[in-house]
Structure 1
Amino acid sequence: MKFTINLPADLEEMSVEELLTTEWLVPKKQRHFLRSKRHILRNGNVARFSDVVHADDQITVLFDSEDFAVKPLTFGDEQLGKSLILYEDEHLVIVNKPENMKTHGNDKTEIALQNHIAAACGAPVYVVHRLDFETSGAVLFAKNPFVLPILDQMLRDRKIHRTYQALCAGQFAQNNLTINRAIGTDRHDKKRRVVVSRGGQRAVTHIQVLKHFATETLVQCQLETGRTHQIRVHLSSLDHAILGDPVYRGRKASRLMLHAKHLELRHPFTKENIRITAVSKSFERLMRKIATD
């Protein structure tokens, strides 16, 4: 496995070790392989970790197959996968997940979004984050096991920004609010989450009202944390359940009206700012119907 990366023109001078550790967030285990096997090159020559890299240098990293534990993945529908891709380069792919499709299967025999994207890319892809089965919108996959832990760390450091739209019941008293309420598992139903006063996981959702309708409100939601069902639980806890959400008492609709509209990040290697917008025809269609009723 070989990757060649051209350093951006505005990169400050730093050592190879600083590049791998601070700039690229390469995990310790992979840094050890690169150092011990002398598998990092600068402009075609073997580089030491103390060597200084400069803007526009060409960095090549080499990995043996045993450097990563890669599980086999069954491929899905190539044409479907290609139709869902919004952005793709050598290291990552952003796709538009349809509603009522799993992000990944529970076992190797189950075909899900991950399998279709792998077929479209011609190689396995790796889940960085997931969307609920019922939720549509932008999902990020890593295209190789080298970038996967880097993207994982960026997600933990809140350097990957996800913006959702939700159509929910009722009217909001204010146009901007932050819901900071811990979430735990419902002791009566392990598949369901609830707001809890003690214990649970910290959960923070920022809400902005986009449009009022007669009995519904379209809101924009930004996640500060990424808990299971977070937006659905938080809105339901304020009596603003999302339409089409039977788990959290949402009014009946043809689909769950929750859509991951935007995904934004700074590319870990090129430092390019990437902002992708995902459009859902079924979400927009139901929105138009609500607006005209």
Structure 2
Amino acid sequence: MELSIQLPQHFKEQTVRELLEQEWLVPRKVRHFLRTRKNVSINGETALFHFPVKSGDVITLQFEPEDYPTPKILLGNNSNVDVLFEDEQLIILNKPIGMKTHPNQPDEQDTLLNHLAAYLAPKNQTPYVVHRLDKETSGAILFAKNPFVLPILGRLLESKQIYRRYQAIVSGHLNESLTIRKRIGRDRHDRRKRVVDERRGDIAVTHVDIASYAKKTNQTTLYCILETGRTHQIRVHLASIGYPIIGDPLYHPKPSGRLMLHAYELHLIHPFSKEQIKVITEHSLW
């Protein structure tokens, strides 16, 4: 695998070592091989690790197959792939309702990851999961197209630099915007579920904005912004304050129809070009 990346404007001058270790999070073992094989070049010239890099420089990295072993993913059907954004490093898809993000068993091949693998196979690229959406949730989801960019996108996610806004429709009249700060942990009685667990749960923060209220159906439409990304976070948080999402098979006392939760919007700053990527799905819940 060979990658060539041009450093963006206003890039802080630093050494090749600093770039690989601190900016691009290249694992120590891989950095060692890049150095000993002399597989780093700047503007076409072989570079040592103490060489400086600056804005406009083109950094080329040559990896061997053992540096990043390719995971085995069964190929699905590329017609199930709805691309919202794509470049050489990452891809954002519109996930349909009722489809799992990734396999849980090695013989599965009807998940979004399988279908994306089929889409990328002609390009000799392999997808990697950055974050996931529940099977019942639709909307924008981000994947890496190579293992090199995966930890960088993971860092952006952990440091809250990837903005995700969801649409939801809940039962009841929620009449004010609020922030829900409740720790979430596993339900000891049902392995499928999560619960609010202030003692042992993980920190979870969801910002909720009101869009509208329908008196006839007694339903409120909401926008939810994730500050953290716990499993079932929006679903558990809204149910915990008495406003379960319509159609939720796990947390609504009387579920009917589809889960009314949709990943409507996703923003991030591209890890290499530093350009803003802003994706809004064409389809929405209202």
The answer as to 2:275 corresponding to 1:277 is: no
Partner SS, residue 236 of structure 2: helix
- Aligned pair partner of 2:133 in 131, 134, 147: 131
Which residue in the other structure is 1:230 paired with? 233
1:290 paired residue number: none
Which residue number corresponds to residue 83 of structure 2?
Answer: 85
Choose which of 128, 144, 147 in structure 2 pairs with 1:145: 147
Mapped partners of 1:29, 1:168: distance in 2: 49
1:192 corresponds to which letter in structure 2? K
- 2:168 is the counterpart of 1:170: no
Alpha-carbon deviation of 1:60? 0.2
Specify the SS of the correspondent of 1:11. coil
Q: Which moved more, 1:9-18 or 1:48-57?
A: 9-18
The whole-number CA distance in structure 2 between the counterparts of 1:12 and 1:185 is 43
Q: What TM-score does the superposition give when structure 1 sets the normalisation length? A: 0.91
Structure 2: tracts of 5 or more residues without a match: none
* CA displacement at 1:204 relative to structure 2: 0.9
Distance in structure 2 (CA, Å) of the matches to 1:274 and 1:115: 25
Query: Which segment drifts farther, 178-187 or 22-31?
Result: 22-31
**Which residue of 2 is the match for residue 155 of structure 1?**
157
3-state DSSP class of the match of 2:191? strand
Report the Cα distance in structure 1 between the residues aligned to 2:195 and 2:266, rounded to whole angstroms: 26
Aligned to 1:291: none
Counterpart position of 1:35:
35
Q: Which residue of structure 1 aligns with residue 120 of structure 2?
A: 121
Whether the 8 Å CA contact 1:92–1:140 is kept in 2: the answer is yes
Task: Work out whether residues 94 and 138 of structure 1, in 8 Å CA contact, stay in contact via their aligned partners in 2.
Answer: yes
Extract unaligned runs of 5+ from structure 1.
Answer: 288-293
The residue aligned with 2:189 is 188
Kindly state the Cα deviation for residue 250 of structure 1 after the two structures are TM-superposed: 5.3
Name the CA distance, whole Å, in 2 between partners of 1:197 and 1:18: 40
What residue number does 1:56 align with? 56
Deviates more, 1:113-122 or 1:27-36: 27-36
Is the counterpart of residue 245 in structure 1 residue 244 in structure 2?
no
In structure 2, what is the Cα distance between the partners aligned to 1:92 and 1:45?
27
Q: Helix, strand or coil for the counterpart of 1:67?
A: coil
Q: CA deviation at 1:251?
A: 4.5
| Matching residue's letter, 1:209 | I
Q: Which amino acid aligns with 1:19?
A: L
CA offset digits 1:187-239 (Å, max 9, x no partner): 21111111123111111111111222211111111111111100000000001
Structure 1 residue identity aligned to 2:89: H
TM-score, normalising length from structure 2?
0.93
How far apart in 1 are the matches of 2:126 and 2:23? 26
Aligned to 1:203: 204
Deviation by residue 1:13-67 (Cα, 9 ceiling, x = unmatched): 2222222233333333433332232211101111122211121111101110001
Residues 1:261 and 2:264 are matched in the alignment: yes
Measure, in 2, the Cα distance between the counterparts of 1:16 and 1:188: 51
Q: Does the 8 Å contact 1:235/1:242 carry over to 2?
A: yes
Distance in 2 (alpha carbons) for counterparts of 1:152 and 1:30: 18
Greater Cα offset, 32-41 or 192-201 = 32-41
Q: Deviations over 1:48-103 (max 9, x none)?
A: 2221112111110111000113221111112222xx11111111110000010000
Partners of 1:134 and 1:194 in 2: CA distance: 18
Amino acid at match of 2:189: H
With 179-188 and 230-239 compared, the bigger mean Cα shift is at 179-188
**Which residue, out of 91, 96, 99, partners 2:94?**
96
Percent identity, aligned pairs only? Answer: 49
- Provide runs of 4+ in structure 1 moved above 4 Å: none
Identify the range of structure 1 (66-75 vs 124-133) with the bigger mean alpha-carbon deviation: 66-75
